[in-house]
Structure 1
């Protein structure tokens, strides 16, 4: 099963998504399901008005929408898809700049979340401390091989996609885990 996806195709939508609170809101809606701006604000420790504004901005760019459920006064919001994608290969300078801006916000978010984990790591059960970890390696591959490697990693993740949308499929003891994939050249090309 593949997760539903929304694709951002213009610089304006990329810049709109490149906001830490908006990314947190979408992540929250994807993990927890529909919720009101008030509920989201409580979860994220933000002001309700701030969350409400940013949810409306996310809706403007097709990333969030009002859920049909609710009392009419404060209807819940939901994510329109389980993932967001964009092209990193545009020849347009404005699109490349917006993509770089978005990628920088995402990287900062990954670092923040890893640092948050490290502050609470000591309180985690032993089995989770042993299972979690950081690692890296340098590979010597062609661009085509790197694409293939990333596709293989995505295929491994896809084995667990159904658990994202079907809580009943999660085995006892399952927890949400952030898996971050970073692959990039580390050396400048030689002339």
Structure 2
């Protein structure tokens, strides 16, 4: 049977779905399904060092909001789950108080996960091959840009990363020696904009 390739993205457009997604375990579960393909709640619990009832509950919640679904046509006592989309997106430009609160909650959970991923890598970095230690790591740049320029820049980065999309769903396209790498993007304005349009002084 040919494996179904998930559609690219699911977009969250209301506070309820944003809050439903804003849970660390749910994000880790959907990330696991997207990265490693269909699996049962038992398999997911073992991979995430959690318990099966907890994972089962949150997988059902993900299914309720359209992030995951049972794999059809699979026999067995516990049918595997799969992701319905390859990534999740949402806009962060609403002036509605409920939407702003929901996106703030989601972004906060997401930032916590990103920090955990970085800490997990640092814990094992000393055991990494030298070529991977040299290629991976952290960095930042301070830019002076308008909001429009920043949006254009992030769109360009997204286009660059999209060159590797096919490798997520099709292992045959992954070159020898490749491995999963989490690219984390953060664009963080530093200080308020002053009346004359100049960036106010910010701490380093």
Unmatched tracts of structure 1, length 5 or more: none
TM-score by length of 1: 0.97
Deviates further, 143-152 or 63-72: 63-72
* In 2: Cα distance, 1:92 partner to 1:67 partner: 37
**Correspondences of 1:122-133 after superposition (within 5 Å):** 122-133=126-137
Residue 143 of structure 1 pairs with residue 147 of structure 2: yes
Instruction: After the TM superposition, list the runs of 4 or more consecutive aligned residues in structure 1 that deviate by more than 4 angstroms.
Output: none
TM-score by length of 2: 0.91
The total of aligned residue pairs comes to: 190
Structure 2 residue matching 1:82: 3-state secondary structure: strand
**Is the 2:71–2:82 contact (alpha carbons within 8 Å) kept by the matching residues of 1?**
yes
Alignment match, 1:110: 114
Which one has more relative contact order, counting CA pairs under 8 Å at least 6 apart? Answer: 1
* In 1: Cα distance, 2:91 partner to 2:149 partner: 19
CA RMSD of aligned residues (A): 1.2
**Is the 1:22–1:54 contact (alpha carbons within 8 Å) kept by the matching residues of 2?**
yes
Rg comparison, structure with higher value:
2
Alignment match, 1:86: 90
Alignment match, 2:189: 185
Alignment match, 1:165: 169
Structure 1 residue matching 2:175: 3-state secondary structure: coil
**Correspondences of 1:40-119 after superposition (within 5 Å):** 40-119=44-123
Alignment match, 1:36: 40
